């Protein structure tokens, strides 16, 4: 926004694992190393959960969090946060999505994000209060609050 003088939108997201004190959080991509190897990152999460004694579903709670920031030329910024709660599963299930999707089982679902088509995660349907994914939820708030779109 400072470089262009035009309102700008940015986002960041991460996986927050309760038994790991919120890690990897905003450093989620870094857990995959310089190559962004998410198979390695998922193994790191699993190994740390096992070391912490978090081996049963009730001890493996997690959430995906996404935050959008709208920066306006006036200097005002607006944040839009989306979250989806779930559980870490092992071994990974599914090859769809990216990042930690194969080990994240959203609450109330029987398939991981890695087993869901993108449209299933990100689409909002009439009669449904919100989309399933954290990123879609953040964008819904942005659309409603910043753009006035319902």
Cα 105 from chain centroid? 12
Q: Rounded CA gap, 21 and 15, in Å?
A: 11
Active site residue 110: no
- Residue 63: phi, psi to the nearest 5? -150, 150
Question: ∠ at Cα 17 (121, 24), nearest 5°?
Answer: 95
Helices marked H in the chain:
38-51, 118-122, 134-145
| Structural tokens at position 104 | 């994240």
- Residue 102: phi, psi to the nearest 5? -70, -15
DSSP secondary-structure letter at 76? Answer: -
Q: Which of 11, 12, 58, 145 is catalytic?
A: 12
Q: List, by residue number, the catalytic residues.
A: 12
């Amino acid at each position: 926004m400072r470089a262009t003088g035009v309102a700008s939108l940015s986002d960041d997201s991460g996986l927050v694992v309760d038994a790991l004190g919120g890690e990897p959080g905003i450093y989620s991509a870094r857990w995959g190393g310089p190559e962004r190897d998410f198979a390695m990152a998922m193994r790191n999460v699993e190994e740390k959960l096992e070391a912490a004694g978090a081996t049963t579903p009730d001890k493996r709670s997690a959430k995906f969090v996404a935050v959008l920031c709208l920066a306006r030329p006036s200097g005002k910024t607006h944040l839009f946060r989306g979250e989806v709660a779930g559980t870490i599963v092992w071994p990974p299930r599914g090859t769809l999505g990216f990042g930690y999707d194969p080990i994240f089982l959203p609450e109330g679902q029987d398939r991981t994000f890695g087993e869901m088509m993108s449209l299933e995660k990100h689409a909002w349907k009439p009669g449904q209060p919100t989309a399933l994914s954290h990123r879609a939820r953040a964008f819904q708030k942005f659309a409603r609050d910043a753009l006035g779109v319902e």
